[in-house]
Amino acid sequence: MSSETSGVGVGADDAEMKRGPLGRWVDKAIKNPDRVYRAMFYVATVFFLVTTLFPFYWLLVLALTPNRLITNMGLLPKGFQPEVFITMFERVPFHLFMFNSFVLGITTTVIVLLIASLAGYVFGRLRFPGKGILMLGILAISYFPPAAFLIPLFELFTGNTALSIGAVTISSPDLFNTPAPMVLPFSALFLPLSIFILTTFYGQIPDGLEDAARVEGTTRLGALFRVIVPLSAPGVATAGVLTFIAVYNEFFFSFLMNNGEASSWAPIVAGILKYQGQFDTPFNLMAAASIVGVLPVAVLVIIAQERIVSGLTAGALKE
């Protein structure tokens, strides 16, 4: 019996050896799936960290390297020049460009949240014919490329559009180099996503809470801003943060609706391009400006990450 048992064991070992390393790995993965999930998690995490953090590291390498030495770069800086973060403010008033981006982002976020809250209440809590088609149309508009609206918007905001009513001709105001031709397109572009997020959240609030507020004498608007909005704080925070980040990073309309000067409400990207001269391109200053410009958004994401994650996940669940 012992010889037979040992023979069977040797045969099993031979069969396992013939299957090769891939077959043995598959057997172990089937027997211990948690180990596979853990390995996949580590691989995905390392890949995400490398692809996400390496650009910031490369910006830091370029910023610390003197501009004359930025050739055939390796993974380490060719020198150490931390004063570049002071020089960048001396050469270009970069703080003013950052201020412009903050004003544009905050203004657009307030407008978007206000309009999206009203629209989200209508779509999430009221019933009316054509609601689904109208919501589908709003989401479809968000997929239109911004370049499709450039020419008519440029003509409108530069005062080249006129409306004739009989003998009266009304011309559009010249808003070039003002915040309006940037804030208004931004609000229209980023409204659909906020409406969708807030519609999902507002639709989950129990009707009894709103009815109780209505019984106390408040109006629909009062119930919206006193009951529904506070209870949907994760969704409101998510929509606000995503809108602010998108506006803060926007370049297309921002570049075309002003002359690129800080006094004309040019945003942060125009400030980075301002370092380019006719005969030189200071890559170290541009890299330093990019690092300084991205820091506020990075801090905002770190602070609001729990709100963003809970808002994106809780809004997808139907209680």
pLDDT in tens, 140-188: 887 888 888 888 888 888 888 877 776 777 888 888 999 999 999 999 9
How far is Cα 266 from Cα 101, in angstroms, rounded to an integer? 8
* 171 beta partners: 162
Residues 214 and 262 in one domain: yes
How far is Cα 314 from Cα 238, in angstroms, rounded to an integer? 11
Mean pLDDT of 129-135: 88
pLDDT at 20: 63
Angle at 114 between CA 111 and CA 119, to 5 degrees: 120
Indicate the residue among 82, 101, 132 that finishes a domain: 82
Residues 47 and 123 in one domain: no
Q: Does 279 fall in a domain?
A: yes
Q: Tokens 């180990």 correspond to what residue?
A: 35
CATH number at residue 215: 1.10.3720.10
Q: Are the CB atoms for 283 and 62 separated by under 8 Å? A: yes
309 or 72, greater pLDDT:
72
Q: Does 256 fall in a domain?
A: yes
* Residue 108 clears pLDDT 50, i.e. is over it: yes
The neighbour count for residue 84, using CB atoms within 10 Å, is: 20
Residues 183 and 119 in one domain: yes
**Greatest Cα-to-Cα distance within the chain, rounded to the nearest angstrom:** 113
Indicate the residue among 38, 64, 82 that finishes a domain: 82
* 169 beta partners: 164
Q: Does 5 fall in a domain?
A: no
Residues 168 and 250 in one domain: yes
Q: Does 157 fall in a domain?
A: yes
pTM of the model: 0.80
Confidence of residue 19 (pLDDT cuts 50, 70, 90): low
Q: Are the CB atoms for 292 and 131 separated by under 8 Å? A: no
pLDDT at 318: 46
Residues 225 and 95 in one domain: yes
Range of the domain at 66: 20-82
Q: Does 229 fall in a domain?
A: yes
Long-range contacts from 273-277, C-beta under 8 angstroms, 24+ separation: 274/92, 274/97, 275/88, 275/91, 275/92
Mean pLDDT of the chain: 83
Q: Does 194 fall in a domain?
A: yes
Residues 301 and 254 in one domain: yes
Residues 231 and 276 in one domain: yes
Mean pLDDT of 62-82: 86
Residues 239 and 288 in one domain: yes
Over residues 188-247, the pLDDT tens digits come to: 989 998 998 899 889 888 888 888 888 888 888 888 888 898 888 888 988 999 999 999
Mean pLDDT of 83-102: 93
The answer to which of 108-112, 113-117, 157-161, 270-274 has the lowest mean pLDDT is: 157-161
Over residues 270-285, the pLDDT tens digits come to: 999 999 887 888 999 9
How far is Cα 94 from Cα 275, in angstroms, rounded to an integer? 10
Indicate the residue among 66, 82, 98 that finishes a domain: 82
Residues 72 and 111 in one domain: no
Q: Does 140 fall in a domain?
A: yes
Domain count, the chain: 2
How far is Cα 241 from Cα 247, in angstroms, rounded to an integer? 10
How far is Cα 298 from Cα 60, in angstroms, rounded to an integer? 15
Residues 157 and 77 in one domain: no
Residues 215 and 268 in one domain: yes
How far is Cα 300 from Cα 105, in angstroms, rounded to an integer? 13
Q: Are the CB atoms for 187 and 115 separated by under 8 Å? A: yes
Mean pLDDT of 253-279: 88
Confidence of residue 22 (pLDDT cuts 50, 70, 90): low
272 or 304, greater pLDDT:
272
* Residue 53 clears pLDDT 60, i.e. is over it: yes
Q: Does 2 fall in a domain?
A: no
Residues 114 and 168 in one domain: yes
